[in-house]
Amino acid sequence: MIKLTFNQKEIYPEIIYSKRKTIGIHITGEQNIKVKAPYFTSEKMIVKVLFEKKSWIEKTLLKLESQKEYHIKDFSEAEIKQYRKKAKEILFKKVELYGNYMGVTYNHIAIKDQKTCWGSCSKQGNLNFNWRLILMPEEILDYVVVHELAHLKQLNHSPAFWSLVESVIPDYKARRKWLKEQGAYYIRK
């Protein structure tokens, strides 16, 4: 087990080994550090990468700490049920609207309670959306819908994919940046 000290706080990063080529570091809204590493990566190499990224990690942890009060509260089951119903209604309309505009068809839409994902698109054309999207500004919700619909034409994040997203949402980069910076605050603590 790896133990690190950042900002005078002891942290035990979660190490996740998988079929990947590089080491990736992710800091959750709860200020947990997840390290994704290729199989057979040594702890020594993981620690080395963590210390190379020390200033970024400290900066991110401080930012999360200072913005703790902006976390969305935990919801009761009844509230979640209401929000999911509202999300289904709104997201279905937006998928239909943007899907027609983009000339794409989809198979199935599901509203889910994901912890780290706002939306996804499968090879079968199934779209999944996080119900918490309806708590966000509408332009962010629109971006996620267009992003997932674009995957129906480009099941990757190639330049062609981003060009398609940009053709519908010219300021997608700003919206994407907002989601990366603020999205964690919409996940339950």
pTM of the model: 0.64
pLDDT tens digits along 159-185: 999 999 999 999 999 999 988 888 877
pLDDT tens digits along 72-93: 557 788 888 999 999 999 999 9
How far is residue 178's CA from residue 183's CA, in Å, rounded to a whole number? 7
Q: Residue 73 carries which DSSP code?
A: P
- CATH topology (fold) of 77-186: Zincin-like (3.30.2010)
- List the domain boundaries for the chain: 4-66, 77-186
